[in-house]
Amino acid sequence: MSVDILRFGVQLTMFEIDPAYCEWLRKYFEASAFKLLQGDVVKTWSQEWSRNPPQRIFGNLPYNAASPIIASFIGTRHIAPLSVFSVQDELGQRMMARPGGKDYSSFSIMCQAAVQIEDCGSLSPFSFYPVPKVKSRIVSIRPGTACGTIDNPEQFSIILRSMFTSRRKTLSNNIAASSRIKGYPVAEKMREAFASEGIDIQRRPETVAPCEWVSVANRVADC
């Protein structure tokens, strides 16, 4: 894919953690105009973004690193006009899962509360070499969401992770258990926020929609 894009004369920045593969890329694309950054993309992308914000981001993300890579962009609200990724099918399903489903998680909420996600189709294992044992899915990400602005993104992330530690327990039980976690709001404020939004705390976290989570978190942040 990178070869095809270079033919159009775009300014391309590539991230690669494998030193040997970086060396091969430098030799193979020696005459081409592109920038190669060696290292963990999660640790290096922000500096590059501050110098030259991208208009497009794309990549076939490693299965064991896709979640933290996507979370690093979404969590810091650095969203390009268009991002297209191929990820493990399971992760793609989690990103788009609806409340109450088996794939619905705190990661589903974090994604859907911050960006627009589109399912662009599945990829057969035979689309890759060597052939992996799992299927892949293509997802696109664009800025904007119906949930509005998250007032305190860091606290929002803490609330989600804490409340989904025991996803089958009620909101009430999770509030009580999470109150000891550093950065988690006072339990009484959480109960008041759910009540103000008309959400019964005898429900389970997996039944609360992304925009409801944003509303609850914003009420707590405003206290």
pLDDT at 30 over 60: yes
Q: Which residue has the higher pLDDT, 29 or 114?
A: 114
Q: What is the pLDDT of residue 179?
A: 83
Q: What is the spatial distance between Cα 166 and Cα 103, in angstroms, rounded to a whole number? A: 14
CATH number of 153-222: 1.10.8.100
Instruction: Return the domain boundaries, the chain.
Output: 1-39, 55-143, 153-222
User: Looking at the predicted structure, is the pLDDT value of residue 196 above 80?
Assistant: yes
Confidence (pTM) = 0.88
Instruction: Read off the pLDDT of residues 67-106 as tens digits, 9 standing for 90 and up.
Output: 999 999 998 889 999 999 999 999 999 999 999 999 999 9
- What is the average per-residue pLDDT within 176-188? 90
Interhelix angle 210-222/187-196, rounded to 10 degrees, is: 120
Which CATH fold would you assign to the domain 55-143? Rossmann fold (3.40.50)
Report pLDDT for 157.
93
% the chain with pLDDT above 90: 74
Q: What is the 3-state secondary structure (H, E, C) of 145-181?
A: CCCCCCCCHHHHHHHHHHHCCCCCCCHHHHHHHHCCC
Question: Mean pLDDT across the chain, nearest whole number?
Answer: 92
- Does position 2 have pLDDT exceeding 80, yes or no? no
- Average pLDDT value for residue range 184-213: 96
* pLDDT tens digits, 99-151: 999 999 999 999 999 999 999 999 988 888 888 888 999 999 999 988 999 99
Query: Do 79 and 73 meet the contact criterion of CB atoms below 8 Å apart?
Result: yes
pLDDT at 146: 87
Helix axes 66-75, 89-96, angle to 10 degrees: 30
Q: Is the per-residue pLDDT at 1 higher than 60?
A: no
Listed in sequence order, the residues at least 6 apart from 28 whose beta carbon sits closer than 8 Å to its beta carbon are none
Phi-psi region of 9 (alpha: psi -120 to 50; beta: other; left: phi over 0): left
